[in-house]
Chain A
Amino acid sequence: MVERRPLGTLISHLILIAGVAIVALPLYVGFVGSTLSFDQVTTVPMQLTPGTQLLENYATVLTHGSKLASGAPVGTMMWNSLVMALAIAIGKIVISMLSAFAIVYFRFPLRKTVFWMIFLTLMLPVEVRIFPTYKVVAELGLVDTYAGLTLPLIASATATFLFRQFFLTIPDELAEAARIDGAGPMRFFVDILLPLSRTSMAALFVIMFIYGWNQYLWPLLITTREDMYTVVIGIKRMVAGGDTLVEWQLVLATAMLALLPPAAVVLVMQRWFVKGLVETEK
C-alpha cells in the first residue's frame, strides 16, 4: 500500500469477498445438495443448510452409484481416475525427463529433429485428432484398458521443455566434476540431476495430476465398460438420463467426490502448484 485509504481498503475487501462468494457458490450449493434426501433436493426452492443424508448418500454412490442411471459404483470409478491421473503424471515426468536429458547433455545427429518433433506435439491436442487416435488405440487392442486410457496422453512437450530449461541452468561444473570422478551419464542423471529436479518434478506432478484426473473426451471415447469409467465420465452418464429421473443428491455427492482429490492436491501443494502453472506455460 502506498497510502492509507481506509475506504479503499474496505471496498477492496468487499469486492474480494464478493468474488470468493461467487466462486464458492456452486461448491456450497452442490455440497448442501449432496447431504439431502431425494425429496428435499427436488423441493423448490431447495434448502440452503446441510441435511442429514451425508453419510448415506456418499456410501450409496461409492458402493452402488445411481440406480436410475447405470448403477456403477463410484468407488471403482475413483480408483480408475486415480490410476489414470497417477500414470499420466508419473509417466509424463519420466519420459520427459529422459528425453530432456538426452537433448541437453548429448550431441547426436538427430537431436534437432527430435526436438522439433516434440515441439510439434504442442500443436496436436487430443481434440483435433480424436478419431484417428481412437482407431490406432482400437487396432492395438487397448480399448477399455489402463494403457489405452493413459498412453496417448503421456507425451508432453511442455514437460520436456520445462526440464530442458531447468537442466540448462545447472552449472556445467557439476557435470565436469562428475565426469572427472568417473561417473557415467546415467550415474550423473540419478545422483545429481534427479535430486536437483525435485521442485520441478513436484510442480509438474501437481499440474499433470489435475490434468489426468480431469480428462473427459478421451475416457469418454475409450471406455465402453462401466468398470473402466473414470469418475468424471460417471457423472456425465448419471445426468444424461433425462431431467426428471436424475437423482441429484447422488450426482452431487459424486461431483464432490470427483473434485475432492484434485482440489486437495492444489490446496496442500499450493506452492508447487503456482510454480508449476507459471513455469509450464512459459
Chain B
Amino acid sequence: MEKRVIFRSRWLPYALVAPQLLVTLVFFFWPAVQALYQSLLVQDAFGAKTQFVWFDNFKDLFSDSHYLASFKVTAVFSILVTVIGLAVALLLAVFADRVVRGAKAYKTLLIWPYAVAPAVAAVLWVFLLNPTLGIVTHLLRAIGYDWNYLLNPRQALALIVIAAVWKQISYNFLFFLAGLQSIPKSLIEAAAIDGAGPARRFWTIAFPLLSPTTFFLLVVNIVYAFFDTFAIVDAATSGGPVQATSILVFKVYQDGVQALDLGGSAAQSVVLMAIVITLTVVQFRFVERRVQY
C-alpha cells in the first residue's frame, strides 16, 4: 500500500530514518556479521592466535554429543511448553468466553503474569518447589512423591516447563479469548437450534474457526520457548543437573562466557539465527494467508 499524498524533501527522510538505521547497523548487522565470521574461526584460549577453519566449528558442533543432547532438550522443552501452554490457555479461554458474570474480573486475574519477568517467575517457582523449603515439595512428600529437582534431571525439566508455561498462559489466553469472541454468534445459535451440545459446538465450530489463532500462537510459543526462556533456565537450574536443562540459548551463553569457546559459541549463534529466520518466514507466510482468508 502506498500513500497518494507525499511530502518532498531531499534530506529529511534520511534524517528521519538515521537514528533507527544507526542503531540497527551498529548493534544488529555489525554483530551479526561478526558472529558469521567468528563462526569460521578458531581462537586459542588466550586470544593470541586465530585461525580460519571454514566450517570446522559446525562440523565439531554437530558431532558434539553435548550439543546434540542440548538440541533434544530444547525440542522436548519447547514441545511441552507449547502444548501445555496452549491447552491450558484454550481451556480457560473457552470457559471465560461462556461466563457472563465476573468475566472481566477473571480476565484481569489471568493476564497479570504477562508482566512478571521470566527470571522472577523462575525464582517464585523455585521457592515453591525448593527441595528443602518448598511448600509444594512438602505436599508432594506428604503423598509419597520424592521431589528434588537439583538431583533429578526430569524434575529439573519439569520445573522450567512449569515456570515457562505459567508465564506464557496469559498471553495465549488473551489471543484465544479474542479469537473466540470474534466467532459470529449466529453460527453457534444455529448449531444449538439444530441440537448440538456445547462440546459438539466447540469441536465442530469454534475449534476449526480458531485454527488461524492456534497456528499463530504455535509459532509464537515455539519462539518463546527457544529464546525468551533463557532467564528461566539461568535463574532456576543453570542448565543442570548434568546439562539436563541446558537449552540451546543457554548453551551459547555457557560456552561463550564460561568456557570461552568463542568460535563454537558463534557457530551456535549462527545455527540459532537460522532457526529464527525459518520461524519468522513461517510466521509471515501465515500472516499473508490470514489476510486473504
Contacts and interface: CB of A to CB of B under 8 A. Distances in A.
B266 A26 contact: no
Contacts of B72: none
A102 B13 contact: yes
Contacts of B249: 127
A33 B1 CA distance: 55
Given A132-B38, A217-B230, A102 B17 contact: yes
B9 A185 contact: yes
Given A9-B98, A172-B3, A114 B21 contact: yes
Interface string B191-219: 01000001001000000000000001000
Interface string A235-270: 110010001000010011001001100110111001
B28 A111 contact: no
Interface string A5-26: 1001101110110011001111
Interface in B133-184: 133, 135, 138, 150, 166, 169-171, 174-175, 178
A226 to B, nearest CB: 17
A111 B234 CA distance: 41
Interface stretch (B55-63, B75-83, B112-120): B112-120
A30 B126 CA distance: 10
Interface stretch (A61-69, A71-79, A148-156, A196-204): A148-156
A129 B28 contact: yes
Tell me the interface secondary structure of chain A in the complex. helix
A42 B133 CA distance: 6
A258 B102 contact: no
Interface in B30-76: 30-32, 34-35, 38
B96 interface: yes
Contacts of B13: 102, 106, 108, 111
Contacts, number: 290
Contacts of B175: 278
Given A120-B29, A151-B23, A172-B5, 6 more contacts: A30-B124, A99-B20, A99-B21, A155-B28, A239-B126, A266-B112
16 contacts: A8-B198, A26-B125, A105-B7, A120-B29, A128-B273, A128-B276, A129-B32, A131-B269, A155-B28, A214-B116, A216-B118, A232-B119, A239-B123, A266-B111, A266-B115, A278-B178
Interface of B: 1, 3-9, 12-14, 16-17, 19-21, 23-24, 26-32, 34-35, 38, 88, 91-92, 95-96, 98-100, 102, 106, 108-121, 123-128, 130-133, 135, 138, 150, 166, 169-171, 174-175, 178, 185, 188-189, 192, 198, 201, 216, 220, 227, 230-231, 234-235, 249, 252-253, 256-257, 262, 265-266, 269, 272-273, 276-277, 280, 287
Interface of A: 1-3, 5, 8-9, 11-13, 15-16, 19-20, 23-27, 29-30, 33, 41-42, 44-46, 48, 94-96, 98-99, 101-108, 110-111, 114, 117-118, 120-125, 127-133, 135-137, 151-152, 154-155, 160, 168, 172, 175-176, 179, 184-186, 188, 210, 213-214, 216-217, 220-221, 232-233, 235-236, 239, 243, 248, 251-252, 255, 258-259, 262-263, 265-267, 270, 273-274, 277-278, 281-282
